[in-house]
Structure 1
């Protein structure tokens, strides 16, 4: 027993004094008032008792990574359900957290368990440390708790030890229950030893350690960029063996390798994912320029090589998805290439490398460059020194355009990146909207088995509302009835005021049905000056591709096919630029040099003025860009412009570098120097760990990187004798992943040791990371691409032995146990004292005594029976005859002693219950007087 507010006991003294001076005459009221005052003072002092109680919150951490067995989800849900069934809702709470690459709370603290895992955490990693941190945040700070880890213990990323130690300091035990794949006969590549970087032409060795469950014959193959470096079979003993390879790289940049291990005889491997290991070897030296052109052997490639530049020329279809090929180049030149012709995602990777690692960018004009090539709105659009919008003041004709979108059932399919085909078609339509001005008109129709008007043809005034309507179009079902789409579009355009009228038909190349009398309809459209282009989603060999091609031909427009829905926005923009016809000026135009031309050429003075060019793409100079040559016409448009884009450089030549629209510029004596100077400017940021340029960064420093446990660690080693760097140094990392936009990270480098700065970035198996150390002064040291051998979740059993050890260490460090019986977990919660207040009982007693006191004071019922009995309480007082006691015979007393006869007495009043009530009532009336 304890008093929570004992100071109130001081009121007993004034309460006693008040009772004494104000005490009533009757005994019972005095007693009742004394008891009442005592109870009130004791209640105010808050009496309580302390009891030990086991209550609190249990947080279950469910490992959802790829290393877990197939039935792990079922086992984890069963464990959570068992705990929920055994809890006391008044004392216990249960929370469930799922973790993998990410961490997500499946159920907050409650009395229920989840029926299924609904949060997406990514199976490519096991962030156990992050899960423990989330559990610590979820547990109430002022209440006991316990953590249950359902995992194989094979964590990736940060060590969970510190997180567990923090829980232990709070008194939170971490219990563990191992759920792991059974040990199997798994052959795997354990690790690969290869140099991070070599010199051009230097022979180097690669060592691979492989694990085999039993002696036997195993095949191996080392592949570099699609070319087999080594292949063969070898008898390997059970256990770990070493394979050795040799190779030589001559081109600066980077080369990606893949090592494949197979069991002879086609024996199936239970975990095939760890039979392939990928790695990258960098090659130091000045990296070549990557020229993307439809004519790899054309004039521009030849001219640049003759100028002494190292150029790798490829056609768009030869480009490799991912970042390795891009990271092997000091700069990228896009010579009259359409955006839709490069691999999906390639432009996003290029933009990241330009801004974050210093790769250069140069685009040349032509019918496929800049806006007409569909580059408007692309990832590299804001990196160029010129903008590509269609400005109203330079438009000769207004444009009326109707977009007819296929919203059939096939458009609901999801593409890489998580979007539906319909979403990307909507974005393409919105791209068309962005290119139009208030002088233009636009309408939108969604088509399945009939045409549905989304936006009627009207001037483009409220872009926000129209964009919102476009982006809300959903796939409904059925096929696209092409005739209905064309008919509705033509009827809408018949009332257009613009001179240029155009239909954009978007359809599935494998499901474009009901052509109807399309030929006659398109003939009527051409007579009414209405053209029609078709964007077909699919291949040009699909069942309805020939029909769609004929629609475009009869409509006087263009036909585009793409299997990658992510290219749709670029195709919509490309067709809109072509229809507008004002984005490319195809007539001779005079040029005028500016003061920036001489520094670009490295000359003391600019050469004699350039001659007229045969045509150019109409663009607009960005505010901070530097023009070297402008058009000497009414447009005063940039013809050559440069600027810095992040850590990289970007240049624009809006004319065709080598083609029919080059015109008289081809004969200009300084033209070759101009092209070579632009190429050198593009490659100018190639000072990196891959070699070739003056060193950057603090004197004596060295940038390097390594990959461990699913993380890329970027380090900068400092010279202990040199002064510490003053500017903030950071790692800028572009993480390329197939089918998704790259992640672009900027992580500050922190001191790990007095002479070593470091930063870490988590990686997934499919990621390729390209990092650069940004020194904060406009210079950077790019590093070779890096990637994981394979998903760490598929590490073989030998590497997985640390899993049980990790779980045991977590339990040992926090006072937890290996939890086999979940039914006893609630009983193992720490017992904590719980204060049970008793004041409410005293207040109830006080209320009862108060009522009794009032009852007695008003009625006297409690004291009435005692008063009726009299002081002695004898039978004579009750008016009853007392029994005569038996006595011994005694002599009679003297006669004189006999009393005289008493006078007769009046009869006593009745002393029954009614008389007692009457007396009490009488006394009450007297007190009321």
Structure 2
């Protein structure tokens, strides 16, 4: 007898007590016998209901037998071994009695059922399986698959036919689970032919974690079935760093040790590859992987378009023990995985359109999700002047990229001359219209804007007008449609005339086109405009634009010339150029910073005693930001806040000779100031209160996280997430790709665990995170370890069979199926429910006995009338 939920039977006593209480309180006018009979029926019904819910089942012995055959179809068995194994399996099936069911499961890197077809077709199916899935031997997966195929109520015996050389999973663990489930494992040891094969068993590092500059030893273990020579190569992050000739002897293992000194903090991926073995029949097992976590000092990514000027800050931080990895536009890490190796990012005087939308999104996610630090320094290409208005970086910053209110009193006039020819149709024109609308948004109510489109003719989209309603201007711009031809000159002249007539302090024109234009005398017109106080900037989009002409116009007009192949960057270019040439965002006058708020990054700087700074970019403080330093005009100079899991700092002046020349030359605390700012902004050292270990157990990668609130307190009930990244074995230089997100479960005080299954050879990096704490660890899933050794792993097969009380079979021998009990569970709740239904009808009959009597009398009268009716009457 077995029960599904036996604890429900405990409810019988309180349920009966409740039934008696209800019966005693009942005022139904019923005679004593009926009342007692009703109580008995209801008591039986209540007990039957609880019995049915408890799920009883009768365990019955059956004589039904079943045999599952797991057939090794991996490459180690080879074609000859595969045929012999299939022959053995079919002979076993042939000697089974008519009442015994059987099936064959193919074993490789994943299991599959061998179809029940003629022997010739089965051999072909096995060959196809070996080609597709013979790169590994997962005995454990095949056993689990076979267990699911047994029919109900039959004995369960499994015969493994193969060499027992498993390369994935754990047969012993699976055998232990099978024993608990009443499954017996038997083995028919069968070796494949010994073939020429050389392989790399593994690559083992002396340490899985070390500090940069430390010595690392990597040991490769090799073995071979033939006497041969080859070349062993070592790859570091996809780049070959060493190679050496090796001589292999049949049946003997060889050990080769490489020495490396990783000189930067990163996750280093190493791969050992054996090449040049011409007679090798299994080249898939000629490489092995490993992973090493190199840790070091504080390291920040420093992005600056002027390397010579960036040296001031870089050299100063070198003395403070902070490494700044200086990069220029065109060589900027653009993915979240590449940024994750840094403790912070410094963005200095690099405009938004040179970064690109993807890079800016990655930077925002780096701060928000990974807890990284971010510092923006001022300059002519920073903040609003760099086109960061309404970009992902704008969201990050603790300051608003708008001019202070008093600056809006100085009016400016902007004329946009936009190409609307046929080549601009589609995305280009839509982006140009969006850029024009964004330009209107960054201008103030005292400013003027005019928009002029051209194809073969000029078209006034928005006449030069004071910007009282951005929505009205946006509606007019949105109605622009593409036309035909390209002639810039008429629209150029219209925009020039409009700017000459308007009364504004600053007058600026932006010209956008993607093609060649007719007309002439543009450089002369631009020079005349400059003499009239009108500056001109040009934007060329696409490869077909007349770049030389546009650059000449911008040079003669005193503006900037921009070139882009990405239409989505036009908006940032327009806003950057507008804010730059309207002049209200930039102030280049000496001023003395003022300390107005206490902050940890300025500890020891009271009273403030620095020299003057020579300029800054104007911004407005965001509501929740801290602003310890301001300018003499009260504008933010140093602002700081938290964004997501990270910290963000804005310094609206620079750290170069343009504005900070006096700081560099005369201020002895220059190094200390920037060291404190960077250390306070950067991501805190990882692993202080969190540790992560990843290990392979069978075919699963287990993750163990040890989390603390502080040095002496375990962190319980925390939300611990793990993200798994992957890079393939043959492309270790490629960026890591996110493949899975997991939520780890708590298994003990401060202990959290989870697992995933690596399914492809390569490197798996796990990044665990809880709040601002984050730590990384890795595990490798090596390429195939299949080998044509011509031997049998007798120890593994013997242990697996002993755990399940199985047998080691000889050729032509069948397992004793009578030793395995076959049981069948017969559910008992259906008859209980039927009895409960009958009791319900009895309950109704007792409660409505008068109605039952009336129905009986009606039936009796009908029977009597029928009996008295004369025969033959109608």
Give the match for residue 589 of structure 2: 587
Q: How does 1:416-427 map to 2 (within 5 A)?
A: 420=427, 424-427=431-434
CA shift, 1:677, in A, is 1.5
**1:374 matched to 2:374:** no
In 1, the alpha carbon distance for the partners of 2:758 and 2:538 equals 41
- Residues 286 and 330 of structure 1 are in contact (CA less than 8 Å); yes or no, is this contact kept in structure 2? no
Q: How does 1:802-881 map to 2 (within 5 A)?
A: none
SS of alignment partner, residue 590 of structure 2: coil
Give the match for residue 688 of structure 1: 686
- The partner residue of 1:501 within 507, 511, 515 is 507
Q: How does 1:415-564 map to 2 (within 5 A)?
A: 420=427, 424-451=431-458, 454-464=461-471, 466-467=473-474, 480-483=486-489, 485-487=491-493, 489-490=495-496, 493=499, 496-508=502-514, 511-537=515-541, 544-564=546-566
CA shift, 1:303, in A, is 1.9
SS of alignment partner, residue 361 of structure 1: strand
- Per the alignment, do residues 482 and 647 of structure 1 end up closer, same or farther by CA in structure 2, a change over 3 Å counting? same
| Residues matched between the structures, number | 599
Task: Render the CA deviation track for 1:417-443: whole Å, top value 9, x for unaligned.
Answer: xxx555554554444233222222334
- Residues 513 and 545 of structure 2 are in contact (CA less than 8 Å); yes or no, is this contact kept in structure 1? no
- Residues 627 and 640 of structure 2 are in contact (CA less than 8 Å); yes or no, is this contact kept in structure 1? yes
- Residues 275 and 286 of structure 2 are in contact (CA less than 8 Å); yes or no, is this contact kept in structure 1? no
In 1, the alpha carbon distance for the partners of 2:719 and 2:573 equals 40
Task: Render the CA deviation track for 1:650-682: whole Å, top value 9, x for unaligned.
Answer: 222211222132264453454443222112212
Give the match for residue 750 of structure 1: 745
- The partner residue of 1:650 within 648, 657, 662 is 648
Task: Render the CA deviation track for 1:215-256: whole Å, top value 9, x for unaligned.
Answer: 999988655568541357989999xx9997845344452156
Q: How does 1:712-751 map to 2 (within 5 A)?
A: 716-717=705-706, 725-731=715-721, 748-751=743-746
CA shift, 1:310, in A, is 3.2
- Per the alignment, do residues 252 and 397 of structure 1 end up closer, same or farther by CA in structure 2, a change over 3 Å counting? same
- Per the alignment, do residues 446 and 655 of structure 1 end up closer, same or farther by CA in structure 2, a change over 3 Å counting? same
- Per the alignment, do residues 449 and 678 of structure 1 end up closer, same or farther by CA in structure 2, a change over 3 Å counting? same
In 2, the alpha carbon distance for the partners of 1:574 and 1:618 equals 14
Give the match for residue 603 of structure 2: 602
Unaligned runs of 5+ in 2: 1-131, 135-140, 151-197, 728-732, 788-874
SS of alignment partner, residue 579 of structure 1: helix
- The partner residue of 1:703 within 683, 692, 704 is 692
In 2, the alpha carbon distance for the partners of 1:620 and 1:484 equals 40
CA shift, 1:614, in A, is 1.3
**1:254 matched to 2:244:** no
- Higher mean alpha-carbon deviation, 437-446 vs 528-537, is at 437-446
CA shift, 1:550, in A, is 0.6
- Residues 593 and 609 of structure 1 are in contact (CA less than 8 Å); yes or no, is this contact kept in structure 2? no
**1:783 matched to 2:781:** no
SS of alignment partner, residue 561 of structure 1: strand
CA shift, 1:311, in A, is 3.2
**1:284 matched to 2:295:** yes
Q: What TM-score, normalized to structure 1? A: 0.52
SS of alignment partner, residue 303 of structure 1: helix
CA shift, 1:583, in A, is 1.0
CA shift, 1:284, in A, is 2.0
In 2, the alpha carbon distance for the partners of 1:481 and 1:712 equals 65
In 1, the alpha carbon distance for the partners of 2:201 and 2:483 equals 49
SS of alignment partner, residue 513 of structure 1: coil
- Per the alignment, do residues 302 and 724 of structure 1 end up closer, same or farther by CA in structure 2, a change over 3 Å counting? closer
- Per the alignment, do residues 709 and 339 of structure 1 end up closer, same or farther by CA in structure 2, a change over 3 Å counting? farther
CA shift, 1:503, in A, is 2.1
In 1, the alpha carbon distance for the partners of 2:489 and 2:288 equals 53
- Per the alignment, do residues 453 and 641 of structure 1 end up closer, same or farther by CA in structure 2, a change over 3 Å counting? same
Task: Render the CA deviation track for 1:122-167: whole Å, top value 9, x for unaligned.
Answer: xxxxxxxxxxxxxxxxxxxxxxxxxxxxxx999xxxx9x999x99x
- Residues 234 and 242 of structure 2 are in contact (CA less than 8 Å); yes or no, is this contact kept in structure 1? yes
SS of alignment partner, residue 434 of structure 1: helix
In 2, the alpha carbon distance for the partners of 1:430 and 1:278 equals 54
- The partner residue of 1:201 within 206, 210, 213 is 213
- Per the alignment, do residues 206 and 665 of structure 1 end up closer, same or farther by CA in structure 2, a change over 3 Å counting? closer
CA shift, 1:625, in A, is 1.7
Q: How does 1:655-694 map to 2 (within 5 A)?
A: 655-662=653-660, 664-666=662-664, 667-683=666-682, 685-689=683-687
Give the match for residue 83 of structure 2: none
Give the match for residue 577 of structure 2: 575
- Per the alignment, do residues 225 and 775 of structure 1 end up closer, same or farther by CA in structure 2, a change over 3 Å counting? closer
Q: How does 1:63-462 map to 2 (within 5 A)?
A: 197-204=209-216, 224=236, 228-230=240-242, 246=258, 248-255=260-267, 257=269, 281-293=292-304, 294-295=306-307, 298-342=311-355, 345-406=358-419, 420=427, 424-451=431-458, 454-462=461-469
In 1, the alpha carbon distance for the partners of 2:199 and 2:705 equals 33
- Residues 391 and 437 of structure 1 are in contact (CA less than 8 Å); yes or no, is this contact kept in structure 2? no
- Residues 188 and 261 of structure 1 are in contact (CA less than 8 Å); yes or no, is this contact kept in structure 2? no
In 2, the alpha carbon distance for the partners of 1:590 and 1:313 equals 29
In 1, the alpha carbon distance for the partners of 2:490 and 2:254 equals 67
In 2, the alpha carbon distance for the partners of 1:336 and 1:453 equals 36
CA shift, 1:468, in A, is 6.5
- Residues 715 and 756 of structure 1 are in contact (CA less than 8 Å); yes or no, is this contact kept in structure 2? yes
Give the match for residue 637 of structure 2: 639
- Residues 375 and 649 of structure 2 are in contact (CA less than 8 Å); yes or no, is this contact kept in structure 1? yes
In 1, the alpha carbon distance for the partners of 2:473 and 2:200 equals 55
In 2, the alpha carbon distance for the partners of 1:478 and 1:217 equals 70
CA shift, 1:715, in A, is 5.1
Task: Render the CA deviation track for 1:195-224: whole Å, top value 9, x for unaligned.
Answer: 764332344456899999x99999886555
- Per the alignment, do residues 449 and 763 of structure 1 end up closer, same or farther by CA in structure 2, a change over 3 Å counting? farther
In 1, the alpha carbon distance for the partners of 2:500 and 2:290 equals 60
- Higher mean alpha-carbon deviation, 614-623 vs 403-412, is at 403-412
Give the match for residue 620 of structure 1: 620
In 1, the alpha carbon distance for the partners of 2:779 and 2:435 equals 33
SS of alignment partner, residue 498 of structure 1: coil
In 2, the alpha carbon distance for the partners of 1:521 and 1:710 equals 74
Q: What TM-score, normalized to structure 2? A: 0.55
In 2, the alpha carbon distance for the partners of 1:462 and 1:436 equals 11
- Per the alignment, do residues 637 and 530 of structure 1 end up closer, same or farther by CA in structure 2, a change over 3 Å counting? same
In 2, the alpha carbon distance for the partners of 1:359 and 1:192 equals 33
- Per the alignment, do residues 532 and 675 of structure 1 end up closer, same or farther by CA in structure 2, a change over 3 Å counting? same
In 2, the alpha carbon distance for the partners of 1:280 and 1:470 equals 55
In 2, the alpha carbon distance for the partners of 1:504 and 1:768 equals 50
- Per the alignment, do residues 260 and 675 of structure 1 end up closer, same or farther by CA in structure 2, a change over 3 Å counting? same
- Residues 589 and 615 of structure 1 are in contact (CA less than 8 Å); yes or no, is this contact kept in structure 2? yes
In 2, the alpha carbon distance for the partners of 1:477 and 1:218 equals 67
- Per the alignment, do residues 608 and 323 of structure 1 end up closer, same or farther by CA in structure 2, a change over 3 Å counting? closer
CA shift, 1:780, in A, is 1.0
Task: Render the CA deviation track for 1:47-69: whole Å, top value 9, x for unaligned.
Answer: xxxxxxxxxxxxxxxxxxxxxxx
- Residues 689 and 707 of structure 2 are in contact (CA less than 8 Å); yes or no, is this contact kept in structure 1? no
- Per the alignment, do residues 257 and 343 of structure 1 end up closer, same or farther by CA in structure 2, a change over 3 Å counting? farther
In 2, the alpha carbon distance for the partners of 1:506 and 1:259 equals 51
- Per the alignment, do residues 205 and 412 of structure 1 end up closer, same or farther by CA in structure 2, a change over 3 Å counting? farther
CA shift, 1:495, in A, is 5.3
In 2, the alpha carbon distance for the partners of 1:452 and 1:677 equals 56
In 2, the alpha carbon distance for the partners of 1:762 and 1:458 equals 65
- Residues 203 and 271 of structure 2 are in contact (CA less than 8 Å); yes or no, is this contact kept in structure 1? no
